[in-house]
């Protein structure tokens, strides 16, 4: 897909995730909005996946360690055809497969995740298995920045470097906010890049809401042979909805009817603008 088309797709995914959160009256809105560009770049342009054969042996693996921000992932998987899009209407309803964290009863989900700090250790194991089995697939693990307070991440970081897992790509959704406020007030992380580099990872910092940067960076990993890659994706929590951006309360705030209408109108206007820009570019 062209970069402009990916941006439009990300806006459409944001509209979908807001709609299912509003319908279910539950969800993690801010983090799902901030990680949508990351997921769009990975799933529509970078990863080797096949919705018609989700268990194909050579598929790239994606682990959503920050599993509470699952709504964007559900919407991406449905849009790609891993399961019927109509099933999104059951999100967080009684008996649904589409619960509030990734659930491996759903095609396209590798592992149940959401207990923070568990995703990267799982990803290290998957990447190590690929190396030992002579497989070429890559493993992508999306973490939250608040999640960096979990010690298991740093044990996994040490192991990833020790085993020279250059088929492993860790991503931190660095939006600077967590449930109780700023990450730097709750548990300071800086200098975050230096810490990961000291653990033996090749560290890249990008604008996590810039589609072109994301696609280019994900495609190029690994840049350094024998080292796992850590991408610090600097994002805006609540991205795409002006009144939700950088507002801590939107971590798990559910939009009311009026807020949903306003948000969908903003995103629809964004799509219109991107479409016009694309037409101008092509002409």
Domain boundaries, the chain: 3-282
For residues 143 and 123, the answer to whether their CB atoms sit within 8 Å is no
Q: What pLDDT shows up at residue 179?
A: 83
- Which of the two residues, 114 and 226, has the higher pLDDT score? 226
Residue-wise pLDDT for 91-103, tens only, equals 999 999 999 999 9
Question: Strands 139-144 and 168-174: what pairing?
Answer: parallel
Q: What is the pTM of this model?
A: 0.96
Q: In whole angstroms, what is the distance from residue 102 CA to residue 106 CA?
A: 8
Residues 222-228: what's their mean pLDDT? 95
Classify residue 69 by its DSSP letter.
-
In whole angstroms, give the CA distance from residue 184 to residue 188. Answer: 4
Least Cα distance to 75 among 121, 44, 120 occurs for 44
At residue 234, does pLDDT exceed 80?
yes
The whole-angstrom separation of Cα 36 and Cα 175 is 12
Q: What is the pLDDT of residue 282?
A: 59
What proportion of the chain, given as a percentage, has pLDDT over 90?
A: 92
Among 7-11, 185-189, 222-226, 248-252, name the most confident range. Answer: 7-11
* 3-class secondary-structure state, position 186: helix
pLDDT bin (cut points 50, 70, 90) of residue 281 is low
pLDDT at 114: 85
Q: What is the pLDDT of residue 163?
A: 98
Mean of per-residue pLDDT scores for the chain? 96
For residue 60, the model assigns a pLDDT of 98
Q: Is the predicted pLDDT of residue 135 greater than 60, yes or no?
A: yes
Average pLDDT score over residue span 104-128: 96
* pLDDT per position as a tens digit, 33-45: 999 999 999 999 9
Which residues are 177's β-sheet partners? Answer: 182
Task: Give residue 133's pLDDT.
Answer: 97
The pLDDT value recorded for residue 149 is 95
**CATH level 3 topology of 3-282:** Rossmann fold (3.40.50)
Question: What pLDDT shows up at residue 220?
Answer: 95
Q: Is the pLDDT of residue 283 over 60?
A: no
Q: How confident is the model over 54-93, as pLDDT tens digits?
A: 999 999 999 999 999 999 999 999 999 999 999 999 999 9
């Amino acid at each position: 897909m062209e970069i402009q088309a990916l941006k439009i797709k990300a806006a459409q995914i944001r509209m979908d995730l807001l709609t299912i959160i509003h319908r279910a009256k539950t969800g993690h809105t801010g983090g799902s909005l901030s990680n949508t560009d990351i997921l769009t770049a990975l799933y529509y342009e970078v990863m080797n996946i096949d919705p018609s054969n989700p268990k194909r042996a050579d598929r790239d693996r994606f682990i959503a360690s920050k599993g509470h921000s699952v709504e964007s992932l559900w919407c991406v998987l449905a849009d790609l055809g891993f399961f019927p899009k109509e099933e999104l209407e059951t999100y967080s309803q009684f008996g649904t497969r589409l619960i509030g964290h990734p659930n491996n009863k759903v095609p396209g989900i590798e592992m149940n995740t959401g207990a923070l700090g568990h995703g990267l250790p799982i990803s290290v194991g998957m990447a190590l298995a690929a190396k030992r089995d002579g497989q070429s697939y890559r493993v992508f693990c999306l973490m939250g920045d608040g999640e960096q307070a979990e010690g298991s991440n740093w044990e996994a970081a040490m192991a990833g470097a020790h085993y020279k897992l250059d088929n492993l790509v860790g991503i931190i959704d660095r939006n600077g906010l967590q449930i109780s406020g700023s990450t730097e007030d709750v548990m300071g992380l800086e200098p975050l890049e230096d810490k990961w580099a000291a653990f033996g990872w090749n560290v890249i910092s990008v604008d996590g809401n810039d589609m072109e940067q994301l696609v280019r960076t994900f495609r190029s990993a690994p840049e350094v042979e024998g080292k796992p890659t850590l991408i610090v994706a600097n994002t805006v929590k609540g991205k795409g909805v002006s009144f939700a951006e950088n507002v801590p309360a939107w971590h798990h705030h559910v939009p009311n009817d009026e807020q949903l209408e306003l948000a969908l109108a903003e995103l629809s206007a964004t799509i219109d603008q991107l479409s016009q820009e694309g037409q101008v570019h092509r002409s």
